[in-house]
Amino acid sequence: MTWCAPEKQHWVLQPLMDAGLATDQIRAFLLQLAFDEIVGDGRTTVAAVHAVVRDQPASVRTAWTETVCRLLALPGPDA
């Protein structure tokens, strides 16, 4: 079960898809972000979020920033 409707999931990921990333690469970025948060001290910094895509072209880094902003704009599962 998911707390985020499929159309919202698509909206969140659209910048990365528009940047030409394959589903597997998008999944890898999101898993890295989640893993870093889980094993970290719980205080992820903006620099750490951007570090996930630091070796990517500028268009992908920009799309990643938009995707993270959209993730943060979603209501929580209890909303």
Considering only 4-8, 24-28, 30-34, 55-59, which range has the smallest mean pLDDT? 4-8
Give the residue-averaged pLDDT of 15-27. 97
Contact 67, 15 (CB under 8 A): yes
pLDDT value at 48 more than 60:
yes
**Predicted local distance difference test score (pLDDT) of residue 1:** 46
Q: How far apart are CA 8 and CA 29, in angstroms?
A: 18
* Rounded CA separation 6/14 (Å): 12
| Segment 35-54 mean pLDDT | 83
**pLDDT above 50: residue 12:** yes
